[in-house]
Structure 1
Amino acid sequence: MTNQLWSSERRLTAIGRNGLSVPARQAVTDQQITPARSVLDYGCGRGGDVRSLRQMQIEAAGWDPVFQPDDQLNPADVVLLTYVLNVIEEPVERRETLARAWSLARAVLVVSARLTWERNKVSGSVFADGVLTSRNTFQHLFGTGELRDFVQGVTNVRCVAAAPGVVYAFKHDQARLAFLARRVLPHVEWLTSSDTTSAISSVVEHTERRGRPPRLEEMPHAMVELLGHLRASDLQRLIRRSADPDRVAAGARRSTLDTLLFLAVELFNGRGPFGSLPLSSQLDVRAFFSSYSEACRRADRLLLKLRDDAYVRGAMQASKVGKVTPTALYVHRRAVDNMPTVLRLYEHCAAIAAGRPADWTLAKLRHQGRAVSWLHYPEFDSDPHPRLSASYSVDLKTLETSFSSYDDSPNRPLLHRKHEFLMPADPDAPKYRRLTKAEVEAGLYDRPHLIGTEAGWEAELKRCERSLRGHRLIRRTEA
């Protein structure tokens, strides 16, 4: 970032923060920022992220041409470029700034920018390719696809959208694939072990869930120490003797589908050679497929099925989770991993292309065309008919995104029949199902075109002389 005479007041765009910024928080959540990695906040402004990271015992430094121009500028494992590109008027300087940040990153560059849907928050007049505000500050608002393509063009590596307006560029492709694997594959928890017997039980349980015995390299270090005195053949014999064959077979079926899902997402974002895959994924391929080539061919066919409207609609109709409407399938966050594999791929491709928001409750997958929306109902668990707070959507054909907030709407959309969005075995489903049954019997769903918003729903409650007390429907008593 060159220290030059700027035509806009960039210093005024630097805000004070008491906690981590959204991009830094995302990088922590995604395990890109850890205590084992150093961090450089390039263009750190007033240094809020640096202070917060240091409080987390993370080695962090910052540099800024206005607020910290004399600080030493050294490479770091992780470089943050947080809302910097927006405020640069000259496209050439934007590229130079991004290239400089990339050169300082040893492992990953985290780039964030304000997006086009924030235009109504930026008052000012059109100037060059952005907006010049009354405070003489400049904002170039990026499209989601534009930001990812811009970072890819400068870094010359495949990038991943971690969240709306947040892009990761990895120095090594193995790190990108490891990130995709963490995003796509279910996280495997190991049972706590304090002695050899409990460690063996944990390995057996892991084998049943995964469908294959784990390698020592996959185990927690403490467990390896507990089992270190056993020969590999002895451990294998103990697993065969103790593991339930039916559970192992079911685990193998799940792991086969999960591996196909990962390889299909990998192809969507750029497939690497077998040796670049995370170790656990390599072992899954060896265990469940005749070869890497065969696994890739099957994953490729799965990805191609996303183009077939009839196949996708059939998968939605066959899904054991979610609510199918004339236009889309709606699935709760707790149930998305139980959708058919092709639908999980559908949602993951959208997330990798445009970033999945941090806060969401339902995923909406359209039947025709390819578009995914993440809908946020903050009070889903506590409100019998939760109100929609926000919607973030991506069109997979154009990669165009849109965002809508309903928090200030006087008549927000709301949900009915909450149990239909969940897995049948969800512990809250019976309570929601009872409420729906009571509402149907009371005639509240007789005019479905009226009940989709707060005002319409309240009018129907009044008409049917009913009110809600938690998740119970009671007769209305007028004051």
Structure 2
Amino acid sequence: MGRTDWGSERRLTAISRGGLSVPARQAVADGQIPPGASVLDYGCGRGEDVRALRHMGCEAVGWDPFYQPDVPLEPRPVVLLTYVLNVIEDPAERRRALQRAWDLAGTVLIVSARLTWERSKVSGENFGDGLLTRRKTFQHLYGVSELRTYVEDVTGVRAVSASPGVIYTFKDDTARLSYLARRIIADGQWLASSDTTSAVAALVDHVERRGRPPRLEEMPLSTAQLLGHLRPGEVNRLVRESVNQAKVDEGAKRTTLNTLLFLAVELFNGRGPFTSLPLTVQLDVRAFFSSYKEACRRADRLLLKLRDDAYIRGAMNASAVGKLTPTALYVHRRAVEQMPAVLRLYEHCASIAAGRPQAWTVAKLCHRGRAVSWLDYPDFDCDPHPRLLTSYQVDLTTFETSHHSYGSHDNRPLLHRKHEFLHSDDPDAAKYRRLTEAEVRADLYANPHLIGTEKGWESELARCGRALRGHRLVRTQA
């Protein structure tokens, strides 16, 4: 075993999970740990992430000053620094650990830390800038903005909040922009191709979704190879004969809006030169704007509209999706992409500033002030009136965040009129609407101040002599 000369029992903070940690799962989902990636887990503890990543086909190694001190430290494209900064009681050593991890990262450093909202789970006495527990382990809990600022200060580059408490820092700014582009422009996937016919079908699908033909280097290698024996003119003819022009026009409109969203978010997080943009975004700019300058000017105007209360309220009133209340617009995860562009930008800016949580169901966009909450109703699709489990909010004027958990409450908030959170074309919207209409006829919404919580809703069901069987309202026996 390695070092024991610390001011706390750091080795005792290493836990056995039996699978990937939350930050590692986030990085895999975001493509920051791709298949076969070379990964160093710096401060790996008992090596749970290393074993899980190896099982997934990655070339993963772990170093830890206590459990794995003899593993050679060599640079790797991906470096994990998972819940390490929390447990180092010496601020100078903490900073050196972060700097060392950054020096070892060839492409991206993934940093995670426990957050201040976990304070109730940590019992201990004040010690330095944190807490010393009864087991003599140390914990410095970070605010969401504090963690991102700290990482940026040590590394000297802009970082991105992937989710609350998980930060990505890229060695190459192009990689950072590519990641941001994937978060905003999610239509870059290609259909699988096995022969010339399916390769042409994949090309047609891409043209209809993107609104423009792709360059050869945008295609998957297998698709490009399957089309390689055809002359460019023949490929263009096949595409022209097969595309649905209405879909192409709709794709062009969608790509134009997505490009503006990306450029606006990029300014919010620091905009670079045209050549730093991902290739696909460069080609979108050339296809749908007269110049990069014009695209940026339009994106800047869109970003400025976030400050205009009247404009935001007007966009919420005009939105084809979401439930509008006197204070906010509530939109289901499946319908967020169908909000007006300025509201999508509103939500994206909040997610870049503070990280969008992994588990969420409904986004709440306030029109009094600028704040976004992500609400988790895990049983939204199966429970006719789903209960709120967690709420995570970021205030865009102060960048302060707050987190609330309702799992242990005996009178949790719940939802009504579920269809209003969705687009009318959603497959489940009609079923939810029928339930709402039946509940209105049964007089269940006569006392709106009572029905927002479990106990109030149960009392109204009893008053009206009704019960729920799935998404059907039935009479109870007298």
- TM-score, normalised to structure 2's length? 0.98
Give the residue type in structure 2 aligned to 1:157.
Answer: V
Structure 2 equivalent of residue 316 of structure 1: 316
Task: State which drifts further: 456-465 or 393-402.
Answer: 393-402
Please give the per-residue CA displacement for 1:112-165, whole angstroms capped at 9, x wherever unaligned: 000011111111112221111111111111000000000000000100000110
Between the aligned partners of 1:195 and 1:29, the Cα distance in structure 2 is: 29
Segment drifting more, 34-43 vs 381-390: 34-43
2:224 alignment partner in structure 1: 224
Give deviations 1:249-294, integer Å, cap 9, x for gaps.
2211111001000111111111111111111111100000001111
In the TM superposition, what are the counterparts of 1:34-45 in structure 2 within 5 Å?
34-45=34-45
- Aligned residue in 1 for 2:463: 463
Contact 1:35/1:59, CA 8 A, preserved across alignment? no
Q: Aligned runs of 1:271-290 on 2, under 5 Å? A: 271-290=271-290
1:117 maps to a residue whose letter is W
Q: Share of identical aligned residues, percent?
A: 70
Query: Could you say which residue in structure 1 is the equivalent of 2:477?
Result: 477
Helix, strand or coil for the counterpart of 2:449?
helix
Distance 2:195 2:19 in 1: 41
| Whole-angstrom distance in 2 between the partners of 1:195 and 1:6 | 61
What is the DSSP-based 3-state SS (H/G/I as helix, E as strand, rest coil) of the residue aligned with 1:449?
Answer: coil
> Would the aligned equivalents of 2:366 and 2:372 in 1 still touch at CA under 8 Å?
yes
Please state whether the residue corresponding to 2:307 is helix, strand or coil. Answer: coil
Aligned partner of residue 365 in structure 2, secondary structure: strand
**Conserved 8 A contact 2:187-2:209:** no
How many Å apart are 1:327 and its aligned residue?
A: 0.5
**Residue 299 of structure 1: CA displacement?**
0.6
Alignment: residue pair count:
477
* Deviation of the 1:201 alpha carbon: 2.8
Q: Pairwise CA RMSD of aligned residues?
A: 1.3
Determine the structure 2 residue equivalent to 1:420: 420
- Aligned partner of 1:86 in structure 2 is 86
Superimposed CA distance per residue, residues 180-199 of structure 1 (whole angstroms, 9 cap, x where no aligned partner): 01111123333343332332
- Structure 2 counterpart of 1:128: 128
Aligned residue number for residue 76 of structure 1: 76
SS at match of 1:380: coil
Secondary structure in 1 aligned to 2:455?
helix
Asked if 2 retains the 8 angstrom alpha-carbon contact of 1:124 and 1:131, the reply is yes
**How do 1:228-377 residues align onto structure 2 when only pairs under 5 Å count?**
228-377=228-377
- Per the alignment, residue 151 of structure 1 pairs with 151
Aligned counterpart, 1:199: 199
Cα distance in 1, alignment partners of residues 58 and 191 from structure 2: 29
Give the direction of change, closer, same or farther, for the CA distance of 1:294–1:4 in structure 2 (3 Å limit): farther
Distance 2:397 2:88 in 1: 30
Return the alpha-carbon distance in structure 2 between the equivalents of residues 125 and 293 of structure 1: 55
Alignment of 1:20-31 (within 5 A): 20-31=20-31
* 8 Å Cα contact 2:187-2:210 kept in structure 1: no
1:412-451 aligned within 5 A: 412-451=412-451
* Whole-angstrom CA distance in 1 between matches of 2:189 and 2:322: 26
Deviation at 1:37, TM superposition (A): 2.0
**Take 2:21 and 2:263, find their aligned partners in 1: how far apart are those partners?**
32
Query: Is residue 193–residue 223 contact of structure 1 (8 Å, CA) maintained in 2?
Result: yes
Partners of 1:4 and 1:398 in 2: CA distance: 41
Structure 1: distance between partners of 2:195 and 2:115: 52
Contact 1:119 1:141 survives alignment (8 Å): yes
Question: Is residue 374–residue 391 contact of structure 2 (8 Å, CA) maintained in 1?
Answer: yes
Is structure 2 residue 126 aligned with structure 1 residue 113? no
Q: Give runs of aligned pairs for residues 9-20 of structure 1, distance below 5 A.
A: 9-20=9-20
Structure 2 CA distance for partners of 1:80 and 1:191, relative to 1, 3 Å: closer
Counterpart-to-counterpart distance in 2, 1:434 and 1:71 = 62
Tell me by how many angstroms 1:4 deviates: 6.9
The residue matched to 1:57 in structure 2 has which SS?
Answer: coil
Q: Secondary structure at the match of 2:461?
A: helix
Shift of 1:34: 1.8
Unaligned runs of 5+ in 2: none
Q: Could you say if the C-alpha distance between residues 340 and 119 of structure 1 is closer, same or farther in structure 2, counting changes exceeding 3 Å? A: same
Q: Look up the equivalent residue of 2:23 and give its one-letter code.
A: P
Distance change in 2, residues 1:134/1:4 (3 Å): closer
Q: Which runs of 5+ in 1 are unaligned?
A: none
Structure 1 partner of 2:215: 215
Does 225-234 or 90-99 show the bigger shift?
225-234
Residues 1:169 and 2:160 are matched in the alignment:
no
